[in-house]
Amino acid sequence: MKEDCIFCKIAKGEIHSATVYEDSHFTVILDVNPATKGHCLIIPKEHFDNIYDLDGETAGKLFALATCIARAMRDELKCDGLNLVQNNGEIAGQTVNHFHLHLIPRYEGDGLNLNWPQQEISVEQLEEIRQSIKKSI
């Protein structure tokens, strides 16, 4: 844990949060600045700055938990859909440098827009990018 990290402090119980779930690995809280009603954050108790630092075992447990929380949100909030959002780096919208996953319930007419303009790309460009990424896996 990092001393100056707000999410580490929340995970340790040093800062009050609206906790909806907690176990030895994760704390799930309601976002204090929600995009929609019921917007939750899944926060690992171990500090990881971002997805690049997250290990596979923790990631697997996190997404297993995300499915459980998502079902509970659907059943209890009666939302029409759900977005999972995870930002890495300031340019991507990360405002707290502690890995966290947003679960954002969606409601008909909620006004939230997570769409982006689609770009065109050639088959050759796709192949070049595919090969580049594949060789680093």
Question: Catalytic residue numbers?
Answer: 100
Other beta carbons within 10 angstroms of residue 68's beta carbon come to 12
Q: Which two tokens stand for residue 128?
A: 């070049």
Provide the residue type at 29 as one letter: I
Q: Which residue has the tokens 């997250």?
A: 54
